[in-house]
């Protein structure tokens, strides 16, 4: 298990400069037990920066963890707060 986890961590480190849809990963913001969060920049709209959260591939195989991740994304998509900006 340790080797698999180390391998997954190394895969995450290679995300810098990778493209996801129209966004290029700039840097890692942080990581936790379930996922890693990256700062990304839109390819065309250079001023548009976002945070992209990527679930650990080892956990993605577990249905209950994947569903929790999806639920969190849906809650965040509905979040409205004075310190949260939507464009």
Show me where the domains of the chain are located. Answer: 2-78
Start-end of H helices in the chain:
2-13, 57-60, 63-78
Q: What percent of the chain is modeled with pLDDT above 70?
A: 82
The burial class, CB within 10 Å (0-12 / 13-18 / 19+), for 63 is: exposed
Q: What is the pTM of this model?
A: 0.70
Joined tokens for residue 28: 């890692």
Residue of 38, 42, 5, 39 whose CA lies nearest to 21: 42
Question: What is the band of 83 on the pLDDT scale with cuts at 50, 70, 90?
Answer: confident
At residue 87, the pLDDT reads 55
Mean pLDDT of the chain: 81
CATH number of the structural domain 2-78:
3.30.200
Query: Which residues does 58 contact at the CB level (< 8 Å), separation at least 6?
Result: 4, 5, 8
């Amino acid at each position: 298990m340790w080797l698999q986890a180390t391998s997954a961590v190394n895969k995450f480190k290679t995300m810098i400069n990778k493209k996801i849809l129209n966004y290029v990963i700039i840097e890692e913001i942080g990581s936790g037990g379930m996922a890693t969060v990256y700062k990304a920049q839109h390819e065309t709209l250079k001023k548009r920066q976002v945070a992209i959260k990527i679930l650990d591939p080892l956990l993605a195989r577990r249905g209950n963890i994947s569903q929790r991740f999806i639920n969190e994304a849906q809650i965040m998509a509905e979040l409205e707060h004075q310190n949260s900006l939507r464009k």
